[in-house]
Structure 1
Amino acid sequence: MGTDTDTAKPATRIQREKQEAILEAALDVFSQYGFRGSTIDQIAEAAGMSKPNLLYYFKSKEDIHAPLLARILDTWLQPLRELDAHGDPLPEIQSYIRRKLEMSRDFPRESRLFANEMLRGAPGFHGVLHTDLKKLVDEKAEVIRSWMAQGKIVKCDPYHLIFSIWATTQHYADFDIQVRAVLGKERGGEGRFEDAARFLDQLFLHGLKPKN
């Protein structure tokens, strides 16, 4: 099934659908309660199936959590992968910010699950953080440095620029209830993401634009 080592028989369509239903339910549960606070019983209830039926597809909570984390990290890194070294720097950075905000709007559960994993010491990500993630950020930091060397953007620390974009965009997913409460009914609707995009354009693009 989902985590068996015996791969002689590929999963049937129904089995794949069941596995996806479990993962979808688990995303809801994990994003609300975190890994430690979640149980197999909660996930089974959210998936609309019995605990024994769920355990037929996934043998443990860890076996459900791991593929969710792998998917989320891949999704989360895609916008950074798309930062084009041959593009115009300011539009490239603007596009990156917009894609990150869109992810906060469209994938709030995934963002909260990612944040929860970081807060508990990232045991599910530990190896990847020091390998794949670091390699990608190092690569894009060099791209940003090259833009600085060409005088296309002002000089700054490229790593902290990336961290700042992560922090300001993911805030709108991880602290959404706070954002909506502070903005109130008139400004706390879907338009809050476009308002955020305009502000972040001003913050980052004006700050990075060469002065001469």
Structure 2
Amino acid sequence: MTHSETAKDGTQNATPEKKPSRIQLRNRKRILDAALEVFSQFGYRGATLDQIAKEAGLSKPNILYYFDGKEAIHVALLNTLMETWLDPLAELNPAGDPLEEVLSYIHRKVQMSREFPRESRLFANEILQGAPRMKPHLLSGLKPLVDEKSALLQDWMDQGKLARVDPRHLLYSIWATTQHYADFEVQVGILSASEKDPLEGAEAYLDTMFRKLLTP
């Protein structure tokens, strides 16, 4: 980005804005990491700037130096999250083997629940509140992608490469069964047969279930 500077002859010269320093970038990341932890635990309404500041180990005025307020931090997190969340579905390859493409997508979603449980809960909390800050992204990003991939799934079914089911409900089922492990992480951990890995066996189970469902 640039800003304008008036020259002696009255013309406007564009000069580059000063890039943030490494300390500023580090502090911004520190704030976002802390906010992710707080929002994933307490939701947007329950989270406070004081909690975020304490988690980040920074003062509240320091937080407000980088962000205008709680909503600005939340929106920054959601914007980053949407790209991460959409990537696995976007990579569903029309030229690939249909069943293996779907199963690979399921495996990636399980891995995301393993690696990004806080992000999943952040997303879930936003949706449960009616998506007040994310609705534009759902309309402009998620919906067109789901429309495109639902049409691809339907085409594979019409060709007899997948068993016939409702493509959209198939996607909803995949999200429900994979993101459950992140959104209900505490419950899964308590009920798990494995203390070391609560997701042990999840991929194999979901692979078997969806393979049976989708094999023509």
Report the TM-score when normalising by structure 1: 0.91
**Cα distance in 1, alignment partners of residues 189 and 33 from structure 2:** 25
Whether the 8 Å contact between 1:180 and 1:189 is mirrored in structure 2 is: no
Q: How does 1:103-114 map to 2 (within 5 A)?
A: 103-114=112-123
**Deviation of residue 188 (structure 1)?**
4.3
Question: Which of 120, 137, 142 in structure 1 is aligned with 2:151?
Answer: 142
Match of 2:194 in 1: 187
Q: How does 1:192-211 map to 2 (within 5 A)?
A: 192-210=198-216
Structure 2 unaligned spans of 5+: 1-15
Match of 2:44 in 1: 35
Bigger helix fraction: 1
**Cα distance in 2, alignment partners of residues 121 and 207 from structure 1:** 31
Q: How does 1:69-88 map to 2 (within 5 A)?
A: 69-88=78-97
- Describe the SS at the equivalent of 1:193: coil
2:151 maps to a residue whose letter is: E
Structure 1 unaligned spans of 5+: 1-6
Match of 1:45 in 2: 54
1:189 maps to a residue whose letter is: K
**Deviation of residue 52 (structure 1)?**
1.0
User: What RMSD, in angstroms, separates the aligned Cα atoms of the two structures?
Assistant: 1.2
Bigger strand fraction: 2
1:197 maps to a residue whose letter is: E
The number of residue pairs the alignment matches comes to: 201
2:44 maps to a residue whose letter is: F
Match of 1:161 in 2: 170
Match of 2:136 in 1: 127
2:80 maps to a residue whose letter is: R
User: Which structure 1 residue ranges, 4+ long, deviate > 2 Å from structure 2?
Assistant: 186-189
2:211 maps to a residue whose letter is: L
- Describe the SS at the equivalent of 1:187: coil
1:92-138 deviation digits (Å, cap 9, x = unpaired): 11110000000000000000110000011101111121221110000
Identity %: 55
Match of 1:68 in 2: 77
**Deviation of residue 193 (structure 1)?**
2.3
Report the TM-score when normalising by structure 2: 0.90
Whether the 8 Å contact between 1:97 and 1:165 is mirrored in structure 2 is: yes
- Describe the SS at the equivalent of 2:199: helix
Q: Which has the larger radius of gyration?
A: 2
Question: Which of 70, 75, 98 in structure 1 is aligned with 2:107?
Answer: 98
**Cα distance in 2, alignment partners of residues 194 and 205 from structure 1:** 19
